Amino acid sequence: MTSNAAPRSAALALSPVAIRVLIILAAIAVWEVAARSGLFYQGVFPSVLKIVAALWELLTSPDFYWHLSVTAGELVLAIFFGGTVGAVAGYVLGVSNYLSRALEKYVYYVSATPKIIFLPIVIIWFGVDSGSKIGLGAVAAFFPVCLNIASGVRSVNPVFLRVGAAFKATRSQVITKIYLPAIRGAAINAARLGLAVAIISVLLAETKLAKNGLGYLVTQAFNKYDMPTMYALIFFIFIVSVAINTAMIRMAGERESGSSF
Amino acid sequence: MAAPVSPSAARPASEMIGFDGVSVVFDTPKGQVVALDDVSFSIPEGEFASVIGPSGCGKTTIFNILGGFLQGNSGEIRLEGKPLQQSATDVGLVFQEDAAFPWRSALDNVAFPLELKGVGKEERHARAREFLQMVGLSGFEDKYPAELSGGMRQRVSLARTLVTQPKVLLMDEPFAALDEQTRLLIGDKITTIHNEMKQTTMLITHNITEAVQLSDRVLVMTYRPGRIKKVVEIDLPWPRTSEILGSEKFGQYVAAIWDDLRVEASRGLEAQGA
C-alpha cells in the first residue's frame, strides 16, 4: 500500500458494517417522516415510537410468552417430524439410484407447490389445534430436507465409502461415521431451509384457524386494527427468523473453511 | 527374507496370495472387455510384489478382486491357501484417491478402523500415534487433511491401514499423484515399514523405478487382454534405499522391464487412438 492511496480510501470509503447500519437508520427515518407527514392514515403508518412502545408492551406481557411458547413448540415438533422423515427419505433416495430415478421427480414437483393448500387436509387429520400447525410445518419441512440430504448423500466421495467397506464398517457405522460428517454442510443447510419453510407454514396456519400462537396474535391485532402491535409482532418474528438463519449459516460454514483453526 | 512356512497353506507351502487362471470380463456399451485373461501367480508370505503395466491393463482389477469389490468370472483366488470368499485373512487396502477423511484430524483418521472395532479412546489414540510416527508424521496428530500436503495425506491413509496390522497389504498406485522426490522418500519409508512388519505386500503401479526399488518381484502385465507377461525377481540387496537408483544393476532391471513394457504401452496408446 502506498502512502498516497491510504488517506484517500480512508476519507471516501465507509466500512460495509457502517453502510449496513446507515441503511437501517435511513429506513427508520423515512418511515418516521412518512408517518408524521400526514399523507397516510396514522393507523396504517404508525410512528416508530408507537411501534417500539407496542413492542415493549408485548415483551413485558406474560401472555405474549405463552403464545410464543406455543409457536416455538409447534415449530420444534414440525421440524422434528418433517426433518426426521425427510432425512431418512433423503438418505434412501441418495443411496439408491433406482429409487431416486423412480421417485425423486415426484418429491421435486410437490416441493414446488405452496404447502398452505394442504391446510384443510391437515385440519381434518390433526384437528384445528396445534396438531394441524405441526402437521403443515412438518409437510413443508420434509421437502427441502429430503432433497438436500439426497443430493448431499450422492455427493459423498465414493472412496470414503470404499474405505468404510475395506475396514468392514457396519451400515450404521457407515451412516454415523462417514455419511453424517461428510454431508454435515448439506445437513445444516437442509435444516436451515426446512426450518424456514416450517416457520412460514406454522405461522400461516396460525393466522387461519387458531386460538393461540404468534400468527394468531398478528391476526388478532389486525382484526382489532391495532397496527402498532401488528408491526411490532412482524418485526419480532422477522428478527428471530434472521437470527436463527444466521446462526445456522455460521454453523455450516465453520467446518467447511478448514475446520481447526 | 524370512518366510515362515504356514502349515495351512495348500500349495506352494509359504504362499500368501495365489491367483489361478483368473479371468474377468466386463460388459461395456462398446462390447465385452477382457480385463484379466487367465492370470496366475503366487506371492509367498512376507514378500513385496509389484504389479506393473500400462493404463488399461487390468492392474486395478486385481486390486478390486483382492479387495472384495469385484468377483472374477472364472479361476481361483487364494489367501493363505483358502478360497478368497472363505478366507479370514486380514487384507489392508490403500487407495489411489486421496482417502483421508477431511473431517478428522490425522490422529483420528488413523484411529478410525480401531474405533469401528470398539477399541477404547486411549488405546486407539496410543496406537494411532505409534503408526503416525512410523510413517514419519509425528507432530502432525492434530492437523486436518486440508492442512497437510498430498504426500502427508497419503501417508495418513497408509498409517490408517497399517494400524490394523493386516497380514496382506494392497496398494493401488498410492503415490501416483505425488511429485517424484516425495515419491522416492515415501518409497524409503515403505521399505523400512515392510522390513519391520513383514506383511505380504502387493503394490499396483505404473512406475518402473518404484516397482524395482521396492519389490522382491515384479509382475509385468500386458495391455488388453490383461495377462502376466513376465515375472522379474529383483535380486538387489536389502535394506534398500532410494540411493540404489544410481547403481548399475538397478538400471539393468529398469531397462529390462521397460523393454517388455514398451511394447504393451505402445499397443495401449494405439488402442486409445493416440
> What is the model's pLDDT at position A148?
94
Given a cut of 80, whether residue A4 has pLDDT beyond it is no
> What is the model's pLDDT at position A12?
61
Question: Taking CA A185 as the corner, what is the angle to CA B118 and CA A148, rounded to the nearest 5 degrees?
Answer: 105
Confidence tier at A155 by pLDDT (50, 70, 90): very high
Cβ B245 vs Cβ B234: under 8 Å: no
> What is the model's pLDDT at position A10?
52
Given a cut of 60, whether residue A1 has pLDDT beyond it is no
Cα–Cα dist B36/B204, whole Å = 15
**Stretch (H or E) spanning B219:** strand B217-221
pTM: 0.80
Determine contact: A246 vs chain B, CB below 8 A: no
> What is the model's pLDDT at position B273?
66
Determine contact: A165 vs chain B, CB below 8 A: yes
Nearest chain B Cα distance for residue A94, angstroms: 20
Task: Kindly state whether residue B180 falls inside one of the protein's structural domains.
Answer: no
Task: Kindly state whether residue B38 falls inside one of the protein's structural domains.
Answer: no
Domain count, chain B: 1
- The answer to whether the CB atoms of B146 and A166 lie below 8 A apart is no
Find the domain containing B147 and state its range. Answer: 98-165
> What is the model's pLDDT at position A254?
62
- Per the structure block, which three cell numbers stand in for B43? 506371492
Question: Taking CA A136 as the corner, what is the angle to CA A134 and CA A141, rounded to the nearest 5 degrees?
Answer: 90
> What is the model's pLDDT at position B10?
43
Instruction: Tell me what the mean pLDDT of segment A84-99 comes to.
Output: 93
Return the higher-pLDDT residue of A21 and A1. Answer: A21
Determine contact: A175 vs chain B, CB below 8 A: no
Instruction: Tell me what the mean pLDDT of segment A135-156 comes to.
Output: 94
Task: Kindly state whether residue B156 falls inside one of the protein's structural domains.
Answer: yes
Query: Which residues in chain A are contacts of B101 at CB distance < 8 A?
Result: 160, 163, 178, 181-182
- The answer to whether the CB atoms of B99 and A163 lie below 8 A apart is yes
Cα–Cα dist A110/A84, whole Å = 18
Overall size of chain A counted in residues: 261
Given a cut of 70, whether residue A5 has pLDDT beyond it is no
> What is the model's pLDDT at position A46?
85
Query: What domains can be seen in chain A, in order of their start residue?
Result: 69-212 (1.10.3720.10)
Residue B116: CB atoms within 10 Å: 18
A41-56 pLDDT per residue, tens: 767 788 888 899 999 9
Closest CA to B110 of B65, B39, B159, B56: B159
Residue A9: CB atoms within 10 Å: 9
The contacts of residue B1 (CB under 8 Å, 6+ apart) are: B46, B47, B216, B238
Is the peptide bond prior to B225 cis by the omega test (within 30 degrees of 0)? yes
Return the higher-pLDDT residue of A247 and A258. Answer: A247
A97-125 pLDDT per residue, tens: 899 888 988 988 988 888 888 888 999 99
Buried b (16+ CB within 10 A) or exposed e, B3-36: beeeeebeeeebbbbbbeebbbeeeeeeeeebbb
Given a cut of 60, whether residue A260 has pLDDT beyond it is no
Cβ A14 vs Cβ A23: under 8 Å: no
Task: Kindly state whether residue B32 falls inside one of the protein's structural domains.
Answer: no
For the ranges A68-77, A203-212, A248-257, which has the lowest average pLDDT? A248-257
Interface of B with A (CB under 8 A): 67-69, 92-93, 95, 97-99, 101-105, 112-113, 115-116, 142-144, 146-147, 160-161, 164
Task: Kindly state whether residue B4 falls inside one of the protein's structural domains.
Answer: no
Task: Kindly state whether residue B226 falls inside one of the protein's structural domains.
Answer: no
Task: Kindly state whether residue B203 falls inside one of the protein's structural domains.
Answer: no
A196-232 pLDDT per residue, tens: 999 999 999 998 888 889 999 999 999 988 889 999 9
From the list B116, B142, B146, which residue is nearest A167 (CB)?
A: B116
Per-residue pLDDT of chain B (274 residues; tens, 9 = 90+): 444 444 433 445 688 999 888 898 888 888 888 888 888 899 999 999 999 988 777 888 889 988 888 888 888 888 988 888 888 888 999 998 889 999 999 999 999 999 999 999 999 999 999 999 988 899 999 999 999 998 899 999 999 999 999 999 999 988 887 788 888 888 888 888 888 888 999 999 888 888 888 899 999 888 878 888 888 888 888 778 777 888 888 888 888 889 888 888 887 788 776 5
Nearest chain B Cα distance for residue A51, angstroms: 47
Placement of cell 454415523 in the chain: A176
Confidence tier at A258 by pLDDT (50, 70, 90): very low
Share of chain A above pLDDT 90, in %: 53
Overall size of chain B counted in residues: 274
- Best to test chain A binding among B116, B144, B148, B164 (most A CBs inside 10 Å): B116
A157-193 pLDDT per residue, tens: 999 999 999 999 999 999 999 999 999 889 988 999 9
> What is the model's pLDDT at position B177?
78
Task: Kindly state whether residue B177 falls inside one of the protein's structural domains.
Answer: no
- The answer to whether the CB atoms of A163 and B146 lie below 8 A apart is no
Cβ B236 vs Cβ B249: under 8 Å: yes
